[in-house]
Amino acid sequence: MNFIIINGPNLNLLGKRETDIYGNIGFEEFLHQLRNQYNEHQIAYFQSNIEGELIDKIQETGFEYDGIILNAAAYSHTSVAIADAIKTIQSPVIEVHISNVFSREDYRQTMLTAASCVGSISGLGLYGYKMALDFLLHQKSSE
Ligand code: DQA
């Protein structure tokens, strides 16, 4: 099956960025492990710091892929446009946050994109992406 992980702003700096919150592992390294573990599936990856590029990728993949794992990062708290894009497409979208956003600043308590997703995972580190993938596979196998 075909899945895509879409990461938003500043997630290209995972492993270097606020390591006390986001950990020491770069996303490429994690992705390499994930792809090895799920080598019978295609796991595409896209990261952008630009809101419109994230929307373009959601639109481009959202009628063909078996699922999207989305960490829109700070845009999760602000972007009506990304929330609308998620509502527009057909592929199921699972929202992932590496940190526990509910234990952080007040401005992170507004979640604009989450309501458009099938569900969301927050605070389980990079393991959250694996959980999202497991869920999508589980859903597909019970269709
Ligand atoms: C994040 C949480 C967001 O609040 C933050 O802006 C991010 C990363 C997370 O994965 O924990 O950039 O989405």
Is the model's pLDDT at 95 over the cut of 90?
A: yes
Is the model's pLDDT at 76 over the cut of 90?
A: yes
State if pTM tops 0.95.
yes
CA of 60 to the centre of ligand 1 (A): 23
Is the model's pLDDT at 142 over the cut of 90?
A: no
What is the separation of C-alpha 68 from the centre of its chain, rounded to a whole number of angstroms? 7
Strands 42-47 and 67-71: unpaired
pLDDT on residue 15: 94
Is the model's pLDDT at 143 over the cut of 90?
A: no
User: What are the strands, taking DSSP E only, across the chain?
Assistant: 2-7, 42-47, 67-71, 93-97, 119-122
CA of 137 to the centre of ligand 1 (A): 24
Catalytic site residue from 65, 75, 97, 129:
97
Q: What residues does each domain of the chain span?
A: 2-141
**CATH architecture of the domain formed by 2-141:** 3-Layer(aba) Sandwich (3.40)
Is the model's pLDDT at 104 over the cut of 90?
A: yes
